[in-house]
Amino acid sequence: MPIVAAVDQSDRAAVVVERAADLAEKYDTELHVLHVGHPTSDFTEVSADAMREQHEVTAKTTIEKTQNAATAVAYDIATMVDGLENTDYKAVGLVGDPAEVIRSYATEHDAEYIVVCGRHRRPLGQALFGSVTQALLLNANRPVVAVPYEDDEA
């Protein structure tokens, strides 16, 4: 039952990994640092009618490249976090709709928690969440930890 740290490429990602690593240590479990990439769909050079097979190969190659890039992002973020060298972690890159892919991954791996980051707080203390965080908070079938993030501009 890993802890899943769902990260994007923002400055908030390190905070998510730090908090997720704390949970992984407390629960004596593995940490999965997950980044979800978006596939590009530029198939203007390939005619689906004339070259359906080439289209399918191109689509598969694009998804594989995006998944490899997403794994590299997850790994890079994890290596930037101080103290993580003593934590058992796995960098994971997947492709698709971030909220849906994160939720599915956490379910498939029976994650203990999903750790994400909120955007910031308004002056009255109301937390603002991004669409992925909000979707996970509303739809995940396991606990979601929304780590507060305060930037200097808030």
- Residue 125: the pLDDT is 47
Helices vs strands, H then E, count in the chain = 4, 7
CA neighbours closer than 13 Å in the CB half-sphere of residue 59: 11
Is beta strand 120-121 parallel, antiparallel or unpaired with respect to 127-128? antiparallel
Q: Which residue would you say has higher pLDDT here, 153 or 12?
A: 12
Under the banding of pLDDT at 50, 70 and 90, the label for residue 41 is very low
Q: Could you report the per-residue pLDDT of 57-106, keeping only the tens digit for each?
A: 666 777 888 888 899 999 999 988 888 877 789 999 999 999 999 999 99
What is the model's pLDDT at position 131?
83
Q: Does the domain formed by 3-147 have CATH 1.10.260.40?
A: no
* pLDDT for the residue numbered 115: 97
Q: Binning pLDDT at 50, 70 and 90, where does residue 49 land?
A: low
pLDDT at 106: 98
The whole-number pLDDT of residue 91 equals 95
Average pLDDT of the segment spanning 37-44: 59
Residue of 92, 145, 91 whose CA lies nearest to 116 = 145
Distant-in-sequence, close-in-space partners of 143: CB < 8 Å, separation ≥ 6: 112, 113, 114
Section 123-150 average pLDDT: 79
Q: Which of 9-18, 40-49, 96-105, 128-137 has the lowest mean pLDDT?
A: 40-49
The count of other CB atoms within 10 Å of the CB of residue 37 is 23
pTM: 0.80
